Chains A and B, each alone.
Chain A
Amino acid sequence: MCTVTGIVLFILGVWGIILNKSNLMIILMSIELMLLAVSLLFTINSVYLENIIGQIFVIMIIAIAAAESSIGLAILIAYYRLRGTIAVKSLNFLKG
Chain B
Amino acid sequence: MYLLIIFITFLSASVTGLFGRKIGTKGAGLFSSICIIISAGVAYYIFYEVVLCGSVVFLKLGKWINTDILIISFGLQFDSLTAIMLVIITSISAMVHIFSLGYMKEDPHIPRFMSYLSLFTFLMIVLVTSDNYLQLFIGWEGVGLCSYLLINFWFTRIQANKAAIKAMLINRVGDMGLILAIFLILKYFGSLEFEILSNIYLEENSKQIIEIICLLLFIATIGKSAQLGLHTWLPDAMEGPTPVSALIHAATMVTAGVFLVIRSAFLFETAPLISILMSVIGGLTAFISATIGLVQNDLKKVIAYSTCSQLGYMVMICGVSYYSVSLFHLVNHAFFKALLFLSAGAIIHAVNDEQDIRKMGGLIKPLPLIFIITMIGALSLMGTPYLTGFYSKDLILELIYGKYIYMLIYWLASMSALLTAFYSMRLIYLVFITNTNIKKEIFIRKQKVSLYIIMALMGLVLGSIFNGFIMKEVLLSNMVTPFINTHTKMIPILFSIVGGVSAFFIYNNFIKYRLYHVLYTFINSAWQFNYLMNHFLTKSLWKFGYYISYKIVDRGVLEIIGPRGLIRVFTKLTKKLSKLQSGNLFNYAFIMIIFVLIYLII
**Interface positions of A (Cβ within 8 A of B):** 14, 17-21, 27, 88-89, 91-96
B62 at interface by CB-CB < 8 Å: no
* Contacts beyond the supplied A18-B586, A88-B586: 8 A-B pairs with Cβ under 8 Å: A18-B593, A21-B584, A88-B584, A91-B584, A95-B581, A96-B579, A96-B580, A96-B581
In angstroms, Cα B583 to Cα A85, docked, is 17
Residue of A nearest to B579 (CB): A96
Q: Which of B551-592 contact A (CB under 8 A)?
A: 577-586, 589-590
In angstroms, Cα B589 to Cα A92, docked, is 14
Partner of B586, one of A19, A93, A94: A19
Tell me the minimal C-beta distance from A87 to chain B in angstroms. 10
Complex contact B585–A88 (CB within 8 A): yes
Partner of B593, one of A14, A20, A88: A14
Which residues of B lie under 8 Å from residue A91 when comparing CB positions? 583-585
Complex contact A92–B586 (CB within 8 A): no
Residue of B nearest to A30 (CB): B589
Complex contact B593–A92 (CB within 8 A): no
Tell me the minimal C-beta distance from A17 to chain B in angstroms. 5
Tell me the minimal C-beta distance from A33 to chain B in angstroms. 14
Complex contact B583–A20 (CB within 8 A): no
In angstroms, Cα B583 to Cα A20, docked, is 15
A sample of 30 inter-chain contacts (CB < 8 A) reads A14-B593, A17-B589, A18-B586, A18-B589, A18-B590, A18-B593, A21-B584, A21-B586, A27-B585, A88-B584, A88-B585, A88-B586, A89-B584, A91-B583, A91-B584, A92-B582, A92-B583, A92-B584, A93-B583, A94-B581, A94-B583, A95-B581, A95-B582, A95-B583, A96-B577, A96-B578, A96-B579, A96-B580, A96-B581, A96-B583
Ranked 9 nearest A-B pairs via Cβ: A96-B581, A92-B583, A96-B578, A95-B583, A17-B589, A18-B590, A92-B584, A91-B585, A88-B585
Complex contact A20–B586 (CB within 8 A): yes
Tell me the minimal C-beta distance from B299 to chain A in angstroms. 80
Which residues of B lie under 8 Å from residue A95 when comparing CB positions? 581-583
In angstroms, Cα B596 to Cα A17, docked, is 15
Which residues of B lie under 8 Å from residue A14 when comparing CB positions? 593
Which residues of A lie under 8 Å from residue B584 when comparing CB positions? 21, 88-89, 91-92
Which residues of B lie under 8 Å from residue A18 when comparing CB positions? 586, 589-590, 593
In angstroms, Cα B582 to Cα A21, docked, is 14
Residue of B nearest to A17 (CB): B589
Which residues of B lie under 8 Å from residue A27 when comparing CB positions? 585
